[in-house]
Amino acid sequence: MTDHDTAAAAPPNLWPDDLGEPLVDDDLIRNGLWSLEGPGAAQELGDAENWDYQEVEDAWTAHAATQLAERGITWDADTDKVTVPDGMTTEDATAIWQDVAGRVLAGFDAWIEAIVADARAGKHLAPPEDVRPASAPGARWITRADPS
């Protein structure tokens, strides 16, 4: 028998901190958008538009969760609980989490570039003092600007 065969199964619920690097945070999303946008977001957003940071973060979280699910790990971002299959050890779950974290974080730049390109593609459809129609490219990533 190997050590792996005798390792204790992981508890039914873990937390991302138990497994390694976080897969998402506000700074990742905001800095990713800000580093790619034109001056004052003039190339991406209409006059009455702002980035919908929560929508972008939710989409990134769903992307990361899908990658984990393909490896048998469920991450419920609403509760932040991580569930692993019966028999999976904490060590195995940690190795999978860290592998997925490395891959998704390595792909973040390309992922966020696609979000910014989508927003740019629909900017011309944003009428003055309003937001682009819901059917326009990039509308998913946009919210109405706070007039203050």
Tell me which of 146 and 79 has the higher pLDDT. Answer: 79
Amino acid (one-letter) located at 2: T
Q: Considering only CA atoms, which of 27, 45, 46 is closest in space to residue 35?
A: 27
The pair of three-digit structure tokens given for residue 100, joined into one six-digit string:
């997925």
| Res 70: pLDDT | 96
Rounded Cα distance, 59 and 65, in Å: 10
Q: Where are the alpha helices (DSSP H) in 7-126?
A: 16-19, 26-36, 53-69, 90-106, 108-122
Per-domain residue ranges of the chain: 13-144
Confidence of residue 6 (pLDDT cuts 50, 70, 90): low
Confidence of residue 1 (pLDDT cuts 50, 70, 90): very low
Tens-place pLDDT, residues 84-115: 998 899 999 999 999 999 999 999 999 999 99
- Residue 137, phi then psi, degrees to nearest 5: -55, 140
User: Looking at the predicted structure, is the pLDDT value of residue 23 above 80?
Assistant: yes
Beta-bridged to residue 89, according to DSSP, are: 9
- The pTM for the full model equals 0.83
Task: Provide mean pLDDT across the span 15-25.
Answer: 84
> To 10 degrees, what angle do helices 90-106 and 108-122 make?
40
